[in-house]
Amino acid sequence: MNLKFAIALSGRGSNMLALHDVIAAMPDKASCVCVIADKDCLGLQKAKELGLDAHHVSYKELGKDAAEAQIIACLQEHQIDFLLLAGFMRILSPTFVDAFPQKIINIHPSLLPKYKGVGTHRRALDAGDTHHGATVHFVTAELDDGPILSQAAIPIQPDDTEDTLAARLLPAEHWLYQTVVNALITGDLAEENGTYQWKTAPHCELSDVIVTDCPIDR
| DSSP-assigned letters across all residues of 26-51 | -TTTEEEEEEEESSS-HHHHHHHHTT
- Residue 146 interacts with ligand GRF (CB under 6 A): yes or no: no
> Minimum distance between the CB of residue 109 and ligand GRF, rounded to whole angstroms?
4
Looking at residue 151, its amino acid is Q
- Residue 11 interacts with ligand GRF (CB under 6 A): yes or no: yes
Do the Cβ atoms of 84 and 32 come closer than 8 Å? no
**86 vs 165, beta carbon nearer ligand GRF:** 86
Looking at residue 112, its amino acid is L
Helix axes 14-24, 42-49, angle to 10 degrees: 20
Q: Is 56 a catalytic residue?
A: no
Applying CB under 6 A, among 5, 15, 20, 82 the residue interacting with ligand GRF is 15
Cα(140)–Cα(64) distance, integer angstroms: 18
Applying CB under 6 A, among 14, 151, 178, 182 the residue interacting with ligand GRF is 14
Cα(39)–Cα(190) distance, integer angstroms: 33
**29 vs 145, beta carbon nearer ligand GRF:** 145
- Residue 86 interacts with ligand GRF (CB under 6 A): yes or no: yes
Cα(47)–Cα(52) distance, integer angstroms: 5
Looking at residue 64, its amino acid is K
Candidates 9-17, 124-132, 191-199, 204-212: pick the segment binding ligand GRF (CB under 6 A): 9-17
Candidates 45-53, 104-112, 137-145, 201-209: pick the segment binding ligand GRF (CB under 6 A): 104-112
End-to-end CA distance of the chain: 39
- Cα angle value 184/18/198 (rounded, 5°): 25
Q: Which of 108, 121, 132, 137 is catalytic?
A: 108
**15 vs 182, beta carbon nearer ligand GRF:** 15
**30 vs 44, beta carbon nearer ligand GRF:** 44
Q: Active-site residues: which are they?
A: 108
Positions in the binding site for ligand GRF (CB under 6 A): 9, 11-15, 43, 86-87, 107-109, 134, 173
